[in-house]
Amino acid sequence: MATIRHAYYRAYQGIMKLAAHFLDFTPPRLLSGPGSVLTLPALIKEKGFSAVLVVSDKGLSALGILKPFLNGLEQAGVAYALFDDVQANPTIGNIEDGLSLYKERGCRALVAFGGGSPMDCAKGIAARAANPRASVSRLRGLLRVARRPVPLFAVPTTAGTGSETTIAAVITDPSTHEKYAINDPKLIPPYAVLDPQLTVGLPPAITATTGMDALTHAVEAYVGRSNTALTIEMAEKATALIFANVERAYKDGKDMEARENMLTAAHYAGIAFTRAYVGYVHAIAHNMGGLYGVPHGLANAVILPYVLDFFVPAANEALARLAAIAGVTKPGMQSQEKAQAFIAEIRAMNARMGIPTTIAGLKEEDFPLIIQRAFREAHPLYPVPRFMEASDCEAILRRLLP
């Protein structure tokens, strides 16, 4: 029975890989470098948008990080409304509240300013604004966004999600405590700003977990079976940059070179996984956010090595190549040894940056629900190198228990 099911999954993934050649994965136009966010108001004005909705969160508002940009909008003659009620795991309610403000203030475009949560929320608002008859729940899944979303300018303030260049918006349904993705190439923002100065104030813990989030994107894309020449190149470049820079940025938040390299790495990883997909790390991690409120980057960082342990029999060659790129191999090592060295170094990096090995709040009684939801997300879409059965997923969850 499992063999038939797995054959169906592979057939589905093969069809999706072929279909991807007919979809538009054009990456956003980039403004990059220190201070580049200050050039964004002029671009918004140039594109003819006289009023925009700025989507962010209370933390960034309180820190004053948005103020120079908002002042720039005023100087450029662009009216704005600020929606900064986005939660750490954005909800359907966040999207609807933001959409109401968007309409009320006569906005014609959006600016997502923040980490993955504001960007995912802004994508949801943009999709709803262009598809008013489609509820958020109806947009769930793959290729459900009928009309192109209203224009979105994405300004990441963390180097992790790569959401400024991905097809995904991950939303939480508070009524069921379930996180799910809206996946459609139309969600790729037309414009993005990679300004390392915006990440300088990130606390070390967030620097660490968002950096490992980006690594998860690169690695899951790379070991999967739907790669292209471009996604392979992007995943390899992202991995090299992350191993060389994440701990530098963690130790010295003002290291501008490390900050800029991490933003670039997150962007590259986003390009990789938006075409090659992710895998079981994300499928499990989304449940940790939905059920227990665990930040997405933290969940990915904790779960990644456990899932890679499971993948080794089917992905040791790919993991061995990543080990060489990361510089953790030794002469004479066989492929499986290199793969194990790569996973061991991920665990060591996590430890050096204070990332735990378990998930706080995880309950054994929730295992059946987590497995059901994780498999619903992963199957048949994610082209993982090796399929899990419920017992395999349960074994990983037991290792994650605090």
The DSSP secondary structure of 112-158, one letter per residue, reads EEESHHHHHHHHHHHHHHH-TTS-HHHH-EES---SPPPPEEEEESS
Peptide bond into 380 cis (omega under 30): yes
On whether both 165 and 223 belong to a single domain, the answer is no
On whether both 254 and 384 belong to a single domain, the answer is yes
On whether both 312 and 324 belong to a single domain, the answer is yes
Task: Mark 66-88 as b/e (b = at least 16 C-beta within 10 Å).
Answer: beebbebbeeeebebbbbbbbbe
181 and 99 Cβ atoms separated by less than 8 Å: no
Domain interval for residue 260: 202-400
Listed residues 158, 182, 199: the one ending a domain: 199
Establish if 349 belongs to a structural domain.
Answer: yes
Establish if 7 belongs to a structural domain.
Answer: no
Establish if 275 belongs to a structural domain.
Answer: yes
Q: What is the tally of structural domains in the chain?
A: 2
Looking at residue 2, its pLDDT comes to 82
Establish if 310 belongs to a structural domain.
Answer: yes
On whether both 137 and 211 belong to a single domain, the answer is no
269 residue type, one letter: A
On whether both 266 and 136 belong to a single domain, the answer is no
Looking at residue 359, its pLDDT comes to 98
Listed residues 199, 232, 259: the one ending a domain: 199
Tokens of 348: 């060591």
On whether both 227 and 301 belong to a single domain, the answer is yes
Listed residues 158, 174, 199: the one ending a domain: 199
On whether both 222 and 145 belong to a single domain, the answer is no
Tokens of 19: 């279909």
Looking at residue 201, its pLDDT comes to 84
| Residues in the chain, pLDDT under 70 | none
154 residue type, one letter: A
Establish if 1 belongs to a structural domain.
Answer: no
On whether both 305 and 210 belong to a single domain, the answer is yes
Establish if 16 belongs to a structural domain.
Answer: no
On whether both 208 and 191 belong to a single domain, the answer is no
Establish if 270 belongs to a structural domain.
Answer: yes
Looking at residue 50, its pLDDT comes to 96
On whether both 236 and 263 belong to a single domain, the answer is yes
Q: Any idea what the CATH number is for the domain that residue 54 is in? A: 3.40.50.1970
Q: Any idea what the CATH number is for the domain that residue 330 is in? A: 1.20.1090.10
On whether both 256 and 284 belong to a single domain, the answer is yes
On whether both 195 and 240 belong to a single domain, the answer is no
Local structure of 14: helix, strand or coil: helix
Establish if 387 belongs to a structural domain.
Answer: yes
